[in-house]
Chain A
Amino acid sequence: MQSSPNMLTKFESKSSRAKGIAFHPTRPWILVSLHSSTIQLWDYRMGTLIDRFEEHDGPVRGVDFHPTQPLFVSGGDDYKIKVWNYQTRRCLFTLNGHLDYVRTVFFHPELPWILSASDDQTIRIWNWQNRSLICTMTGHNHYVMCAQFHPTEDLIASASLDQSVRIWDISGLRKKHSAPTSISFEDQMARANPNQADMFGNTDAIVKFVLEGHDRGVNWVSFHPTLPLIVSAGDDRLIKLWRMSDTKAWEVDTCRGHFQNASACLFHPHQDLILSVGEDKTIRVWDLNKRTSVQSFKRDSDRFWVIAAHPKINLFAAGHDTGVMVFKLERERPASAVYQNQLFYITKEKHVKSYDFAKNVESPPMLSLRKLGSPWIPPRTVSYNPAERAILVTSPADSGTYELIHLPRDATGAVEPTDVKRGQATSAVFVARNRFAVFNPSSQQVDIKDLSNSTTKTITPPAGTTDIYFGGTGCLLFITPTTVVLFDIQQKKQLAEVTVSGVKYVVWSNDGLYCALLSKHNVTIVTKTLEQVSTLHETIRIKSATWDDAGVLIYSTLNHIKYSLLNGDNGIIRTLDQTVYLVRVKGRNVYCLDRNAQPRILEIDPTEYRFKLSLVKRNYDEMLQIIKNSSLVGQSIISYLQKKGYPEIALQFVQDPQTRFDLALECGNLEVAIEMARELDRPNFWSRLGAEALAHGNHQVVEMTYQKQRNFDKLSFLYLATGDQEKLSRMAKIAEHRGDFTSRFQNAIYRGDVEDRIQMFKEVDLYPLAYLTAKSHGLTEEAESILESCGLTEDQIGLPSLETPLQTPRPIVPTFKSKWPVKAAGHSSFEKALLGEVGADEEATGDALEFGEDETEAVLAKDTLDDEEEDASGWDMGDDVNVEEDVEFVNVESAEAGAGSSEADLWARNSPLAADHVAAGSFDTAMQLLNRQVGAVQFAPLKDRFLEVYKASKTYLPASTGLPPLVNYVRRTTEETDSRKVLPIIPRDLETIASVDLQEGYAAMRANKLEEGVKIFKRVLHTLLVNSVSSEEEVEQAKKIISTAREYILAMSIELERRSVPTDTEEGLKRSLELSAYFTIPKLEVAHRQLALMAAMKLSFANKNFNSALGFANRMLANGGSAKLLDQARRIKAQCERNPSDAIDVEFDQFAEFDICAASFTPIFSGSPCVTDLFSGAKYHEQYKGSVCRISEVTEIGAPASGLRLFVPGL
């Protein structure tokens, strides 16, 4: 037996002796009943005491949560059973009846029943809804220590110090208490049957089996959750396993090991294990099938009294002399490794599987690691090597082992691996393509090994190293309890060190520049050279982390997924209902493994952190994008922006006027502030706005706010300061109106208006002051009259000496007329981006509107175009000239002996395609081929294309210094190594031509840039002429493109010709009209043909060729499309119909079938002799035979040729 390295304690409490434990079914809570009469409610995840319930008198031995209601039940030595509501934190009621200590209490899984076992030798069932005792089971003749309901069947198991375990059938009780149904005759008989009734005639609960086998009292009994098994623990120190059938029950086996009384036992809810605890201070785990001890855990000085299992999660709790411990038996973190789009992980069955992030599919098992480590210990880590497709797996079994295994090419099932290399180590990671490092803590030694598992190098890590991790190529990270050390393996040198304590996991960012060090409660982000970037603390345990592609760390705690930016800003992304281990973030998906090692995809909203990230990076465009496209609102983001000093950005997406006002003030955006203040219109806001505006010197706004606040004093002073005399006098009038003398006096002083001051003094009977004022300002007359009215003379008044009268200060600059020079309204770059964006947006929509028509037409036209082309594809069939196929392989001189032949030579040998010969640099043979295939004779236009293809054929790999680089040949057959099948890559494939070049051509047509258009379409022809495709379908597609290009070149050339014809002569005019008519003949896309028709129609109409114009108008109408064009056509049609005749006779019969000669731009009526260019398919009058095709500019018209080859089947 081994002591357990795996038992992972998650929580421990310190208290008096814990006698009863219950897990909450969904929340991370545990109830602990203590010998001291207290019941504690703990959150074992946070490690906090939530509540205490203290109404029992004396020890509380049994406690249980209700499975669904916010209730729990407890029973104690005060003989009482209490039912509590933990939300209201009150005891709801007490069930009295037991006559001695109550040992255990349990809720029924579905019925409103409570089961209690007591030292009064009875087991009782209570209905907690009507609070009544519904059944008393007697039969044990000593204390009943434990009684439990069967999880699904109507059975009860009880354990007693009378050394027996009893199984009770309570189906009768259930029937009695279930909704009244008609009782069948059999039931009546059964219930009346006296043999099954107990001595009191009670059939509610009857003893089904009595299990005898323990030699001493039995302390605990438990049912297996699914199998007909029972386990019991007794003072005889034994754990006994029992099996039952419908009719009997028997002892299966005994687990021996406890060396003191066994107090409690239970079955593992999910695994074939039994757990037991005893007064020997041990927790023991037994294999259910072999009844052997799997592991044991010993406490130093505390006897264990009780054990409980969480119904769903892999958690257990054990109560002992000084408290409770919550633990799990094994690590639940599945071992996994991520490489690019693949996740490799080890399932609960110890199968190696992979998961593809791109396709979201799980592979079948690839390997079985059943033999790795011991059966109950899962592998700890896995490291993946893409170059060798190998994995390194470590297992903590046998004090640490590792195995190096090559993965099979295809996942075919859980096969046992072959060729496994193994050794002793607690950690093993790949450090390079062909090297891995293993760490042995006992010897404190890191070995660098090659793939044959032999040690190539040995490193002594820093003292106290506990773990090693990959440290970037060629480097290792050593983890010690207080530091992390970066070590270069090759140079055997410590590169950097950072002080971080308790690091447990290391997660590298996708670009390898940053690394997150995870410890229990801290995340530290460091650069690849271990410079600390940021650190953050979590109160809840941190479980895992992964990096977003943008460089945001996404990490998970027990119950949240959170993010952290490099600067340490962090926040919650979502909550978790169960613990998961993150492995990858892609867009809105977080990929993780759950505790069953199943890959799961969680959806997240990355908006918040992306926003913050773009804020940090000052990527305003992206911020805008985010603001526009998602509902990014909420106080948190606003306060974040404010805190980070971006009130102007926060302003952009706040609606609430008050917040907007606050933000506007903060960033000094007065306009918005005014707007909001108007909306709110409360004095408080006006005054704040006024203060801010004053600080800005924006006196207009200040004026307005003072007006709004009716703050006359301040207004007056403002006018004085800005020198606005007019308004100042208005203020004086207002003051007069209001009868506010103080204000009036003040205004008078401001204005220097002595008369008004005297007047006012007189009005308020302050004659002395009035007199003094008049006197001091030299207004003697006025002074006299005042004296007079008072009936005094001058000598009756003692006057102080008079000085110069008060001069009011006059502002030099009439500030009021102009605005204070306010700093240009500071648009932040973000706002600018916003403004710019808006502008661009409008333009874009404008453009889109213009183009919209064209595009929709083009789409509409597409179908018809395709039809036409299908017809047209017959063109090269008719006059096919048979040239022998076998001459196509042009002989290539083989290279001289000694040195081998280069790959370029091979290409030319392998292929009959001109393009491949060009790539091989064999231009002469390529020309030969083109000459034979399409009658090419004038190669100059192809030169660019030849050189382009040739240039792309080779790469230059620098090798030994002092020598030229090694030349390698780029293949399109990247998978091929057979020298007879390799072929060169040809740039500008068919897809590029169709999606780029052709579209450029169309755009030139739309934009009326015909010269350019001709060039583009000719380039398309030339590119296709020297090219290769990969299937017969593509050959057809290429032919279509050739004919499209031909039609456009022809059409554009006709129109260009027309523009060069002078129209001042009669012939010129006639020719011009004809050419405009011919322009409508080539098979252009409908939208473009409409343009041609429009031009022809207008020209004819303008020259009074109404009949022709009518013809064009009719064709336009038949084509349909843009309403604007059709309107014009309709109008012209209406006009022409009045006089359908032509003023000038032109050679154009709209009803005849004809082609246009591409050289002379004259009609070739059907039946008349013509020649065709084999490559372009252009038609010519016979006299042009032998000259160069005007369309392709390369081929000879009418030359015998076998047809262009672009594709070789089988190669």
Chain B
Amino acid sequence: MDPFSAEGELLNIHNAFHSGQYPEVIDFETAALSPENQLPARVLKLRAQIATGQAAEVLATVSSEEDTPDLAAVKALAQQVLGKTDAALQLAQDLAENYPDNATVEVLAATVLQAQDLSEEALALLAKHQGNLEAVSLIVQIHLQQNRADLALKEVQAAKRWAQDSLLVNLAESWVGLRVGGEKYQSAFYVYEELASAPSTSAPLSIVGQAVAELHLGRLPEAEAALNSALEKYPEDAELIANSIVLNVLSGKPSTDLEARLSQVQPSHALLADIQEKSDFFDAAASKYAPKVSS
């Protein structure tokens, strides 16, 4: 029943999407797919387009043929990404109410909800899934964002029982592993390294994952090698730049250039916002102190 199972014909496009190979997804040949798989494949392609920054085009495409809940969900996501948050929320909530059993709706509407910090609503929607691994991985991520590694771990272990070999479960387990730490860092490293080293799955996503795992393992030179070679290949990838900043700071190297680059590529990146916020916080906190005698 699961079109993404190991024998299904969507396996390759699905894996390509989740290992972050968006160009491959967009170029994927779908003509040969059976009719019932055409729509899921189309959704994946549209999502890949959104992920590569073509949300506006996607919105234009789906707006004209918004006849299935799947495409409507894609529309909601595109709106969210384009900053039309109110419309996106409205649409997502509608969809969640009307089509809670549609796998695409579950995942995309929950993404929109979570992106607007409505974690409880997102989780409630996702809880209705029936063997949708993507929903599982989303649940794991939401739990982790809520700092509930314990719940995330439970979710992963439950999923492992019925889908041990899925890429998504492996990835979700690595996310949890990187939060838990200790030996789990190494296991997460293996998962990402395997992805990053195989030509059929290598993408910024997997290289960043590998480098992050190495950072956490304290293996800075290896992390540096991975990030530097990836940066040459994908100079515009925000997460690559962000993690390179962290690495440079850790190894005592200047990071100003990279920060400038990041603010160009993605001015809204969490790292920059965070630093700005903390900088202001610092000034506020520091102003409470003064020497008894000013010199």
Contact = CB atoms under 8 A, between A and B. Distances in A.
A803 to B, nearest CB: 80
B239 A958 contact: yes
A992 interface: yes
Given A937-B290, A1187-B295, A956 B271 contact: yes
A387 interface: yes
Given A939-B285, A954-B246, A961-B47, A900 B270 contact: no
Interface in B191-208: 191, 194, 197-201, 204-205, 208
B43 interface: no
B267 to A, nearest CB: 14
A959 B134 CA distance: 11
A903 B51 CA distance: 29
Nearest to A906: B147
A736 B215 CA distance: 91
Given A958-B20, A960-B137, A937 B289 contact: yes
B50 A961 contact: yes
B246 A386 contact: no
A305 interface: no
B232 to A, nearest CB: 16
Interface residues of A, number: 79
A938 interface: yes
A456 interface: yes
A922 to B, nearest CB: 10
Nearest to A902: B147
A992 B249 CA distance: 13
Contact of B255 (A936, A951, A1187): A951
B1 interface: no
A457 interface: yes
A965 B239 contact: yes
Interface stretch (A821-829, A967-975, A1069-1077): A967-975
B144 interface: yes
A980 B75 CA distance: 44
Contacts of A892: none
A971 B201 CA distance: 29
Interface string B39-77: 000000001001100000000000000000000000001
Contact of B141 (A921, A956, A959): A959
Contacts of A1186: 291-293
Contacts of B289: 927, 931, 936-939
Contacts of A903: 147, 179
B197 A512 contact: yes
A793 B198 CA distance: 108
Contact of B81 (A931, A948, A962): A962
Given A938-B291, A987-B250, A1187-B294, A963 B205 contact: no
A970 B178 CA distance: 9
B164 A450 contact: yes
Most chain-B CB neighbours within 10 Å: which of A433, A957, A1159? A957
Contacts of A985: 218, 250
B93 interface: no
Contact of B145 (A456, A895, A966): A966
B12 interface: yes
B94 interface: no
Given A490-B15, A900-B146, A958-B208, A473 B197 contact: yes
A954 B274 CA distance: 11
Contact of B12 (A491, A955, A961, A1196): A491
B293 A921 contact: no
A820 B164 CA distance: 80
B286 A947 contact: no
Interface string A929-942: 00100001111100
B182 interface: yes
A947 B270 contact: no
Interface string A795-809: 000000000000000
A950 B280 CA distance: 13
B216 interface: yes
Contact of A970 (B190, B197, B246): B246
B88 to A, nearest CB: 11
A1196 B147 CA distance: 39
B275 interface: yes
A963 B114 contact: yes
A472 B246 contact: no
Contact of B216 (A962, A968, A1199): A968
A962 B217 contact: no
A457 B6 contact: yes
A943 interface: yes
B208 A957 contact: yes
Contacts of A491: 12, 200
A229 interface: no
A899 B294 CA distance: 45
Contact of A947 (B77, B144, B209, B279): B279
B282 A450 contact: no
Interface string B255-286: 10000000000000111001100110111011
A977 interface: yes
A967 B165 CA distance: 25
A986 B38 CA distance: 51
A450 B290 CA distance: 65
B111 A963 contact: yes
Nearest to B245: A951
A940 B286 contact: yes
B138 to A, nearest CB: 5
B187 interface: yes
A387 B286 contact: no
A977 B148 contact: no
B242 A956 contact: yes
Nearest to B294: A1187
B76 to A, nearest CB: 10
A899 B249 CA distance: 30
Interface string A868-905: 00000000000000000000000000010011111100
B48 to A, nearest CB: 8
Interface in B180-237: 180-185, 187, 190-191, 194, 197-201, 204-205, 208-209, 212, 215-218
A974 B218 contact: yes
B176 to A, nearest CB: 10
Given A931-B289, A947-B275, A947-B279, A974 B217 contact: yes
Contact of A962 (B111, B279, B295): B111
Contacts of B149: 900
Contacts of A1190: 295
Given A931-B289, A987-B250, A474 B215 contact: no
A982 interface: yes
A230 B245 CA distance: 78
Contacts of A951: 245-246, 249, 255, 271, 275
B83 interface: no
Nearest to A973: B181
Contacts of B288: 927
Contacts of A967: 270
A987 B220 CA distance: 12
Nearest to B259: A951
A779 interface: no
A1187 to B, nearest CB: 4
A474 B200 contact: yes
Contacts of A1187: 291-295
Given A948-B249, A1188-B291, A976 B182 contact: yes
30 contacts: A386-B190, A472-B198, A490-B15, A899-B119, A901-B147, A921-B274, A923-B278, A937-B291, A939-B282, A939-B286, A943-B286, A946-B282, A951-B275, A954-B271, A957-B208, A958-B204, A960-B141, A961-B47, A963-B114, A965-B242, A968-B179, A970-B215, A970-B246, A970-B250, A974-B181, A974-B182, A975-B182, A977-B181, A1185-B293, A1196-B291
The 10 closest A-B pairs by CB, nearest first: A473-B198, A1186-B292, A939-B286, A977-B182, A900-B147, A1186-B293, A899-B146, A1187-B295, A387-B190, A952-B249
Given A903-B147, A956-B271, A958-B20, 4 more contacts: A947-B275, A960-B137, A982-B181, A1184-B293
